[in-house]
Amino acid sequence: MPTIALIAHDGKKDDMIRFAREHLHLLKRFHLIATGTTGERVQIATSMPVERMLSGPYGGDAQIAAHVAEGKVAGVIFLVDPLYAHPHEPDINGLLRICNVYNVPLATNEATGHLMLDGLVEKLDGEDAFSQENNS
């Protein structure tokens, strides 16, 4: 089961909860990892299991970046709050850079998150169809 990482700045956590609820039928097809508080809130709101990393300012962004670098993440949905400075900006930039280095889809708002999920699900469905054809 492919992994999707979920991250949301404090000002975007409510948006992430709404996004997760609206896309529950798609997200259920993935193993979810998330930074601490975001993961806790998504898990409570959706009853989906979420593997939680540390909180972003305490290294959670870096932990997710490591998973991306190890090839363990199919995509990252990171709802960024562009209106506020963040004390862990170097970790955030590091995660963005790692996604670009390893060509991992990165959505930084709900619109791109929706498109990314649709694309990953389409890819999964294509792989499932291919696998069924080869097993027949």
Residues taking part in catalysis: 61
Structure tokens at 6: 């979920």
Q: What is the chain's length? A: 136
Those residues whose C-beta lies under 8 Å from the C-beta of residue 95, and which sit 6 or more positions away, are 7, 61, 62, 64, 65, 68, 76, 78
Structure tokens at 21: 């609820």
